[in-house]
């Protein structure tokens, strides 16, 4: 099993708050790693510290054997990590298809204005159309992003990630706030990506979804890893059950 990403002793502190503390994590090629934990556990911060949104307070982020901690987000993206955001950030005035084309961006477009200045090659358009078909957005290709529902926007986020041909896909709560129907659709999509051999890190608040799609699961609580293992191993951990049961304000 090839290790694509390794995180060693990662720390991300905000003043006195240890949002991520001394975290070790490995992501293997073609596998799906789940990162779960209560709200505020540090899941999104972990993504941000890996992807260069934040400069880690300490520790290493090793991508394909190369240390990349402290790199800028676009540098990390060029090196092959693509991530979605917990809050969708489409280009609202562009169509679904154009949003996907624009996301080829890490390699070709630096922003909306350069997108409009450039005429896209046949190859770029065909790739975007193929990805759009794969995630099930072809029917609404010509709709503007501002006019589509959250379920579609989440699929658009995944499409924008896929079109960059990433080595590693990081999804931040792709099911949050969706109806059960839309949750099932996203879950099926993740399983499809897995079947294609993609390497995925999935942040998910929902335990059953994580159990269904992940090969291994890492459990965070107060910035620290409290458990790691296969879904069935993790499910039996006392600390995991407590971290979840201790959370009264379920969403």
Ligand X SMILES: Nc1ncnc2c1ncn2[C@@H]1O[C@H](COP(=O)(O)OP(=O)(O)O)[C@@H](O)[C@H]1O
Whose structure tokens read 């993790």?
234
Instruction: For the segment 27-46, give every residue that binds Mg ion (CB under 5 A).
Output: 43-44
**The length of the chain, given as a count of residues:** 251
| Binding span for ligand X by CB under 6 A among 11-19, 96-104, 193-201, 235-243 | 11-19
Instruction: For the segment 86-115, give every residue that binds ligand X (CB under 6 A).
Output: none
| Binding span for ligand X by CB under 6 A among 14-22, 63-71, 144-152, 240-248 | 14-22
User: What is the distance between the alpha carbons of residues 85 and 157, in angstroms, rounded to a whole number?
Assistant: 8
Residue among 44 and 199 whose Cβ is closer to Mg ion: 44
Please report how close the Cβ of residue 243 comes to ligand X at its closest, in angstroms: 11
| Binding span for ligand X by CB under 6 A among 35-43, 121-129, 206-214, 234-242 | 35-43
Residue among 18 and 79 whose Cβ is closer to Mg ion: 18
Binding mask 114-153 for ligand X (x = CB under 6 A): ----------------------------------------
User: What is the distance between the alpha carbons of residues 228 and 83, in angstroms, rounded to a whole number?
Assistant: 22
Based on C-alpha coordinates, what's the Rg of the chain?
Answer: 18
**Residue 127 has which token pair?**
């790739």
Binding mask 37-76 for ligand X (x = CB under 6 A): x-xxxxxxx-------------------------------
**Residue 29 has which token pair?**
């090629």
Q: Which residue lies nearest Mg ion, judged by its C-beta?
A: 44
Q: Look at residue 19 and give the partner it binds from Mg ion, ligand X, none, a contact being a CB closer than 5 to 8 Å depending on partner kind.
A: ligand X
User: What is the distance between the alpha carbons of residues 224 and 11, in angstroms, rounded to a whole number?
Assistant: 10
Please report how close the Cβ of residue 237 comes to ligand X at its closest, in angstroms: 18
Burial class of residue 177, CB neighbours in 10 A (0-12, 13-18, 19+):
middle
Whose structure tokens read 């209560």?
38
Which residues in the chain belong to E strands, given as ranges? Answer: 3-14, 17-28, 32-36, 58-63, 66-67, 81-83, 168-172, 200-203, 216-221, 224-229
* Residues contributing to the site for Mg ion (CB under 5 A): 43-44
Q: Which residues bind ligand X (CB under 6 A)?
A: 14, 17, 19, 37, 39-45
């Amino acid at each position: 099993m090839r290790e694509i990403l390794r995180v060693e002793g990662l720390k991300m502190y905000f003043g006195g708050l240890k949002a991520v503390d001394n975290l070790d994590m490995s992501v293997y090629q073609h596998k799906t790693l789940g990162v779960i934990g209560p709200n505020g556990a540090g899941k999104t911060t972990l993504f941000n510290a890996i992807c260069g949104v934040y400069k880690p307070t300490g520790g290493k982020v090793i991508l394909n054997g190369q240390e990349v901690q402290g790199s800028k987000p676009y540098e990390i993206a060029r090196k092959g990590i693509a991530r979605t955001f917990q809050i969708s950030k489409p280009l609202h005035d562009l169509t679904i298809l154009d949003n996907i084309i624009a996301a080829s961006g890490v390699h070709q477009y630096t922003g909306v204005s350069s997108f409009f200045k450039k005429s896209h090659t046949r190859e770029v358009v065909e790739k975007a159309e193929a990805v759009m078909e794969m995630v099930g957005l072809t029917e609404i290709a010509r709709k503007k992003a501002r006019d589509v529902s959250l379920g579609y926007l989440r699929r658009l986020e995944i499409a924008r990630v896929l079109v960059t041909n990433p080595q590693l896909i990081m999804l931040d709560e792709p099911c949050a706030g969706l109806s059960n129907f839309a949750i099932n659709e996203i879950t099926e999509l993740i399983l499809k990506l897995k079947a294609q051999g993609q390497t995925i890190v999935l942040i998910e608040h929902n335990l059953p979804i994580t159990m269904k799609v992940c090969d291994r699961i890492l459990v965070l609580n107060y910035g620290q890893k409290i458990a790691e293992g296969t879904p069935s191993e993790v499910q039996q951990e006392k600390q995991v059950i407590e971290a979840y049961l201790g959370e009264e304000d379920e969403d």
